[in-house]
Structure 1
Amino acid sequence: MSFQEKKLSELAIAIPGATKLFREYDLDFCCGGANTLSFAAKVKNLNLAEIEQRLAALEQRQEPNEAKNWLQASYAEIINHIIARFHQRHREQLPELIFLAEKVENVHGDRADCPMGVSAVLKEIHSDLSQHMQKEEQILFPMINAGQYAMAQMPIQVMEHEHDDAGQQVEVLKSLTDNLTPPRDACNTWRALYTGINEFIDDLMLHIHLENNILFPRVLSQA
């Protein structure tokens, strides 16, 4: 089966393990989920046939798919999972990443390859994401749980716009860090910073995927 003209978001939902594969190829299935696989692969000069072959292998495995399970879950289950798995995790991750980034900049700021500015971007992400999650927890999620789907349309549009902004901030982080590649002689703190940022980005992409591609479309279909 050819996957090349299917949207990244559709593949991420339908095929177990596709989200992990897309992260490996740095394919944005969240904010860029409306792009087809062929278009996204062409932009990044990737081997489309290789990706299709790996997707086909994943599809044949027929393992339980977290995304498929969430398609059947209640709104309350999805929302509780988002808050516990992603919101709380982001609140733990970002202060530590900011601390590590400031330490690297203070100690290695005289090096040309030092990722100067990363702490400032992380602080911006922390501030924006904190407000974003608060709005979801205090306004949007209660609306959805109360069955006020029509009223939720405008907040959902705002959340999706903010997801796009977060995607742009992630790209800035990648550009400042040589795509999260530490120098060969990087200290442990430097390496821990990049490992932590990479984990945060993975979590953020799954977080946005669950909302943009699964929760929000279900709610809007009932508005």
Structure 2
Amino acid sequence: MPYMEQSLGQLARRIPGATGLFDAHQLDFCCAGNRSLRTATETLGIDPRPLVDALKNLEQRAAAEPEQDWSDASDTQLVEHLLVRYHAVHREQLPELIRLARRVEHVHGDRQDCPHGLADHLEAMAQELDSHMRKEEMVLFPMITRGQGGMASMPISAMRSEHDDHGTELRRLAELTDNITTPRDACTTWRALYTGLRSFRDDLIAHIHTENNILFERFAPAQVL
């Protein structure tokens, strides 16, 4: 079905990142989520073409792609991939997830299955993850791209330890959301939140795997236990 004929609610549920796009254009995907994109943009007098292009880009990014084997990439190519595919994407994902989580907790806080404390947990994750990525961007990655990866065993050890912390935080996220299981009667915002959470979780797991098991192994092989 063409994007223009789908409802805002359908698009928000199906495409990770669509909620942030709609929010930026003041398109109400929750209370007025049954309106088609065509009706919503016509009502506000918005040119829908940039929105459709942005939705296509979001959907293409979220779509399953043939997984590239990064083992043969150069150090510089691998670092650039990590920066673009994961660092930049996490910084887009988390502010929107925090906003959605706060909205769900505010509106549905009286429900037993509401993910109480999720927004605070995501905010803490965002701060810790941003600090972690900045360390890589300012210290570790420049060492690697300058050909000094062989001297980076200490920074790599520290980053691996912080990756373990991220894993603990993901397990806590799963506890708060019943393993990111959407209630049957959840509203559009709640569904969009959990769609985004699944995308973030999968991206973070792939991010950690690429660093720990491909990039870091080139310079500081982990001890097999």
Output aligned runs, 1:155-166, within 5 Å. 155-166=155-166
* Pair 96,153 (structure 1): closer, same or farther in 2 beyond 3 Å: same
The aligned amino acid for 1:168 is T
Taking the aligned partners of 1:138 and 1:147, their CA distance within structure 2 comes to: 15
The answer for the alignment partner of 2:214 in structure 1 is 214
Taking the aligned partners of 2:164 and 2:94, their CA distance within structure 1 comes to: 19
Shift of 1:208: 0.6
Shift of 1:182: 1.3
Q: Of 65, 68, 78, which residue of structure 2 is paired with 1:66?
A: 68
- Unmatched 5+ stretches in structure 2: 1-65
Output aligned runs, 1:35-54, within 5 Å. none
Aligned-residue RMSD, C-alpha: 1.1
The answer for the alignment partner of 1:99 in structure 2 is 99
The answer for the alignment partner of 1:89 in structure 2 is 89
Shift of 1:105: 0.3
The answer for the alignment partner of 1:200 in structure 2 is 200
Shift of 1:202: 0.6
Taking the aligned partners of 2:80 and 2:146, their CA distance within structure 1 comes to: 14
The alignment status of 1:136 with 2:136, answered yes or no, reads yes
Q: Show CA shifts across 1:69-110 (max 9, x none).
A: x11111000000000010000000000000000000000001
The answer for the alignment partner of 1:110 in structure 2 is 110
Larger Rg, first or second structure (1 or 2):
2
Q: Show CA shifts across 1:143-191 (max 9, x none).
A: 1111222431000001001111001100101111111111111001001
Equivalent residue of 2:149, what SS? coil
The alignment status of 1:191 with 2:191, answered yes or no, reads yes
Percentage identity across paired residues of the two chains = 56
Taking the aligned partners of 1:149 and 1:186, their CA distance within structure 2 comes to: 48
Shift of 1:65: 5.3
How many residue pairs match? The answer is 156
Taking the aligned partners of 1:144 and 1:220, their CA distance within structure 2 comes to: 12
Equivalent residue of 2:220, what SS? helix
Equivalent residue of 2:151, what SS? coil
- Unmatched 5+ stretches in structure 1: 1-63
Output aligned runs, 1:143-182, within 5 Å. 143-182=143-182
TM-score by length of 2: 0.67
